[in-house]
Amino acid sequence: MPELPEVEVVRRSLDEKIKQKKIKKVIIRNRNLRLKIPYNFSNFLKNLKVIKIERFSKYIIFNLSNNSYCLLHLGMSGTLHLVPRNKKNLITNLSFYNSPFQPIKHNHVEIIFDNFKIIYNDPRRFGFFEIINDKKKLIKKFKNFGPEALDKKFNKEYIYHYFKNKKKNIKNFLIDQKFVSGIGNIYASEILFECKINPIKKANLLNKDNCDKIVIFSKKVLLDAIRKGGSSIKNFKNIAGTEGNFQKNFNVYFREGLNCKKSKCHGTIKKKIISNRSTFFCNICQK
């Protein structure tokens, strides 16, 4: 599933291409996504201008000219493809975890502009679109989400007080969107490695120094991943046709059995299944 850095890369790609562009037409080929696409979806979007593209957590937010919003969540396998008019066989992928070419079979939604269209493709159909009518409803939509890891509200005081009397392990908290928004399985493993914290350590055992490290390295790892274009697991390419490069900097993820990269550490990267998710960590330096 895409995490905050990958969704941010897609947001920037979309904003570059469709900001201030008018939607001419919307074609729905399959309404049966995780949330069924409303029957008025096409007519609602038609002739609206996309003012800008924003993001919260793993959601892409289309700000529309009638002061409403269209939310898109890419789910497990959703990708966006930009297809210029009258051109074929181009690398079209704005997203990741899929072919960089347009795989027609699972095209579910087409948003058509003057000289190109954006196609939403999703083999597993866990993604969804949602119309939000005004700012108040948008705020309400995210009221139960924790602060983004890049937000100043995500600080050591917030973490320390949140963890009091909490016995769940820290790895599960980092991927819990009610605690912090945007972090998923890959980056939780990388953040905990940088913090030298064992992923199965109970949250209520973390001291303020541990909490401070979680704040510092959450921001560092996510910002570094954004700068490097996200993590390419399966042919991720951004709008320029460039692969994400952060996977080249993985310290633990997908490195089971390899040596720890920290200097003077003789540990080995181990893999453990926590809540049905693969978690990677160093068996020596992560206490």
pLDDT one-digit tens code per residue, 217-267:
999 999 999 888 765 444 444 444 455 456 678 999 999 999 999 999 999
Q: Which residue reads 């928004």 in tokens?
A: 181
Using alpha carbons only, give the angle 111, 90, 42 rounded to the nearest 5 degrees: 5
d(CA 223, CA 260): 22
Q: Is the dihedral of CA 109, 105, 8, 85 positive or negative?
A: negative
Assess whether 28 and 136 both reside in one domain. yes
User: In the chain, how many domains are there?
Assistant: 2
133: in domain: yes
Helix, strand, coil fractions of the chain, as percent rounded to 5: 30, 25, 45
Catalytic residues: 2-3, 58, 277
Assess whether 122 and 16 both reside in one domain. yes
119: in domain: yes
d(CA 92, CA 76): 19
Q: Which residue reads 């905050």 in tokens?
A: 4
Put simply, whether the predicted model's pTM sits higher than 0.85 gets the answer: yes
Assess whether 132 and 20 both reside in one domain. yes
147: in domain: no
Could you give phi then psi for residue 277, rounded to 5 degrees?
-120, 140
Q: Which domain holds residue 232?
A: 156-282
At 235 the pLDDT is 42
201: in domain: yes
What digits encode the pLDDT tens for the residues 91-150? 677 765 456 666 688 999 999 999 999 999 999 999 999 999 999 999 999 999 999 999
Assess whether 192 and 70 both reside in one domain. no
